[in-house]
Amino acid sequence: MRFCRFQNLRNLFCETHLPTEAHPIITTIEKRYRTKVHGTILSSSNGSAMQDVESMARLVTLSNQDYALLVQWFRDANSTIMPSSKVTPVKSYKRFNQTFQALPSRESASLSEDQTPPKNSVVMVTLGDGTCIPAVLQSIFSPTRVNTLRSTTTETFFTARKYEPLSATDTTKSYCLKFPLASGHLYYNSLCADTILAPIDRVVAHAALTPQTVNGINRPCVHILPLVT
């Protein structure tokens, strides 16, 4: 948890135009954690950050479910040119010097409440309405579209499953309501059944998980803290 707090502080102090009063605090933090605040993994939270996609050479065919989600995304974007169901799988995606990876395919459908997913696959995702939610990456891939002039366009997408939010009754028992300064939110330690799909730049940060047993809630819970402010 101390690491998570430091990451959030580091992101805050990387902002420009900080008042001079903040400089001694930055110096103290750098001495305490033996690292430099500037130029670190959370130095920015805008879409202009350096991005890097590591793709695999072979093509794979999307499942019917994922391909339907992809086609629907292009339809919602008013595109008349649809991609092929054969896509290039992406091994990893890097942004802000953070590496994001999807679950191994054998784990995507079998993750249970007593298992913790690999840290590189637990992420914060921005939805179309601006809401930021925690999710586990299920796949990352790059489809290609061929336009009428025979030129190609390749974009990268991800699929993910959201963490299940607490019910209205259980939300009232969450200690996060009593101690809002603790940051983060409480969820059930399980994933929603439905899958979401979006462009890869909607993945904005890692998230830290802490399994919790909460009095009055009869299901395993998890405290999720975004590693970005």
pLDDT tens string 102-142: 987 655 555 555 567 888 899 999 988 888 999 999 999 99
Write down the domain spans for the chain.
1-43, 47-226
- pLDDT at 3 (0 to 100): 47
pLDDT tens string 4-33: 455 555 555 554 445 565 566 666 666 655
What pTM value is reported for the model? 0.72
Pick from 80-89, 104-113, 166-175: least confident: 104-113
Q: Is 217 helix (H, G, I), strand (E, B) or coil?
A: coil
Give the chain's count of helices (H) and strands (E). Answer: 6, 13
Handedness of CA 19, 20, 21, 27 (dihedral sign): positive
pLDDT tens string 35-81: 554 443 333 334 444 456 666 668 899 999 999 999 999 999 888 88
DSSP letters of 66-105? HHHHHHHHHHHTT-S-PPPSEEEEEEEEEETTEEE-PPPH
Q: What is the mean predicted confidence (pLDDT) over 92-102?
A: 84
The answer to whether the beta carbons of residues 89 and 104 sit under 8 Å apart is no
Q: Give residue 153's pLDDT band: very low, low, confident or very high (50, 70, 90).
A: confident
Specify whether domain 47-226 bears CATH 2.30.30: yes
- pLDDT at 43 (0 to 100): 34
- pLDDT at 128 (0 to 100): 84
CA dist 143 → 102, 108, 151 (Å): 16, 20, 14
Q: Which of 20-34, 40-54, 144-158, 176-190 has the highest mean pLDDT?
A: 144-158
